[in-house]
Structure 1
Amino acid sequence: MLKLAIFGSGSGTNCQAIIDAVEAGTLDAEIKCVLADNKDAYILERARKHNIPAIYFDCAPFKTKLDGEAEQQVLRTLEEHDVNFIALAGFMRIVKDGLLNAYEGRMINIHPSLLPSFPGLDGGKQAFDYGVKFTGCTVHFVDSGVDTGAIINQRIISIDDDDTLDTVMSKLHAQEHIAYTEALQWIAEGRIKRDGRRLSLK
C-alpha cells in the first residue's frame, strides 16, 4: 500500500480527490500527511477535516525552490510519518536533489497541459492563449527538470469556440481528479512497466 505525503501550495482540489478516492476504497493508499509551503493554503484545512496531519513548512530564504534547511525539515517529517511515496498536487516550488534522491521513482506530479507542450507555470493558460483546440492534463514522475519526467497518464479536453479560460480550467480540473487517482492506483497495484521514458501498464 502506498503511504502518501501530498504536497501543495493552494486550494488542494487534487488532494481532495485523492482523499475521497482513499475513503471510497478505490485507491489503495494511506495518506500519512499533507504538507504546504503556504500557511494559509486551504489544502491544510482539507487535511484537518479528514484528521490527516497538516504540516506547514517555511521555505525562506528561497522563493521558488525547496532546498536547504527547509528540505531537511521536510525529509525528517516524511521519515517521522513513515512516508514511502509523494504526490505533488499544486506544489509551486522546484524540488531539489535531496528530496529527489531520497524518493527517486517515488514522486509524481500533475500538470495542467499535455506535456511536453506548455510546461512550467500556468500550463492551462498557456494552452488557451496559444489557441490550441485540445489540451489536457498529465501525471508524470518527477525528475530534476521542470515537468520533464516520464509520463504516466494523460486525459484530453477540447477547447471550444465559446470557452473562456475559466471554463477550460474547470474542464481541466475535472480530468485532473480522474487522472491523478488512476495513476496512483496503477502504481499501488504495481502495474507500471518502464522502457526508458516509455511507461505502459502490465
Structure 2
Amino acid sequence: MKNIVILISGGGSNMAAIVRAAQQQEWARRLDARVAAVISNKADAQGLVFASEQGIATAVLNHKEFASREAFDTALAETIDRHEPALVVLAGFMRILTPGFVQHYAGRLLNIHPSLLPAFPGLHTHQRAIDAGCKFAGATVHEVTAELDVGPILDQAVVPVLPQDTAEALAARVLAQEHVIYPQAVASFLRKL
C-alpha cells in the first residue's frame, strides 16, 4: 500500500478534498494508495478534526517547541517516516522547509501554490495578481525543491481575474479549483510510483 502523509496548518480544505477523492475514487483498490496520516504544526488546526473523523491517524508537532527550524524538521521527518510514506503532500502547511527535509523526500514531496507559477511565488499572491493587472490567476501543483515554489509543475488551474475582484473573492475562486486539481495531481503522481 502506498501511504500518503498530508501536512496541514489550518482548516485543511485541500487535505479534505484529497481524502474525499481517495474515498470516492477508491484509491485503495485502484491505486493501492491511502491517506495514512495527517500531521499539523498547530494543535488547533481544524483539519485534524476532519482527519480523525475519517479514521486517519493524526499528529501535532508544535514548531514553537523546537530550538531551530532544523530541529523541528528532523522531528517532523521522524514522525512522517513512522507511516512509511510513498508520498508527502503539503496542504496549507505554513512552514518553509529546510533543504535537508526537502532532500529526504526528494521526488515524493508535493505542494500546491495559489498562483500560476512561476508568477507570484511566496505570499499575498491574489492581491499581487490584482495589483499587477493580471487578467488570469490560478493555482499550481508542483514538486517541492529546496528553492521556494520553483519545483516541476504537475498541474495548473486558471481562474479569470474579474474587474471587481478583491483578494478574498479571487482567493475563494482559486481555492475551489485547488480542490479539483490537487486530488487529480496526487492520483496521477501515485500512478507513476
TM norm. shorter chain > 0.5: yes
Deviation of residue 78 (structure 1)? 1.7
Q: 1:124 aligns with which of 119, 123, 126?
A: 126
Aligned match of 1:194 = none
Give the Cα separation in 2 of the matches to 1:99 and 1:41: 22
Structure 1 residue runs of 4 or more that deviate by more than 6 Å after TM superposition: none
Q: Residues 2-151 of structure 1: matches in 2 within 5 Å?
A: 2-25=2-25, 27=27, 28=31, 29-60=33-64, 67-151=69-153
- Do structure 1's residue 182 and structure 2's residue 189 form an aligned pair? no
Give the Cα separation in 2 of the matches to 1:3 and 1:51: 14
Give the Cα separation in 1 of the matches to 2:178 and 2:114: 8
Task: Note the alpha carbon deviations across 1:152-178, whole angstroms, 9 max, x for none.
Answer: 100100011233322211110111011
Deviation of residue 62 (structure 1)? 6.7
> Helix, strand or coil: the match of 1:115?
coil
Q: Is the 8 A contact 1:112 1:122 kept in 2?
A: no
> Helix, strand or coil: the match of 2:85?
coil
Deviation of residue 3 (structure 1)? 1.1
Unaligned runs of 5+ in 1: 192-202
Deviation of residue 184 (structure 1)? 0.7
- Among the aligned pairs, what percent are the same residue? 34
Q: Normalising by structure 1, report the TM-score.
A: 0.86
Q: Normalising by structure 2, report the TM-score.
A: 0.90
Deviation of residue 26 (structure 1)? 5.5
Give the Cα separation in 2 of the matches to 1:170 and 1:26: 28
Deviation of residue 124 (structure 1)? 2.3
Give the Cα separation in 2 of the matches to 1:55 and 1:107: 18
> Helix, strand or coil: the match of 1:39?
coil
Deviation of residue 56 (structure 1)? 0.7
122-131 vs 109-118, which moves further: 122-131
> Helix, strand or coil: the match of 1:60?
helix
Task: Note the alpha carbon deviations across 1:34-60, whole angstroms, 9 max, x for none.
Answer: 111111111111111111111110213
C-alpha RMSD over aligned residues = 1.9
Give the Cα separation in 2 of the matches to 1:10 and 1:128: 25
Matched to 1:160, the amino acid is L
- Do structure 1's residue 158 and structure 2's residue 171 form an aligned pair? no
Unaligned runs of 5+ in 2: none
Give the Cα separation in 1 of the matches to 2:144 and 2:127: 22
Give the Cα separation in 2 of the matches to 1:161 and 1:26: 41
Give the Cα separation in 2 of the matches to 1:87 and 1:121: 19
Give the Cα separation in 2 of the matches to 1:103 and 1:48: 25
Q: Is the 8 A contact 2:12 2:92 kept in 1?
A: yes
- Report how many aligned residue pairs link the two structures: 189
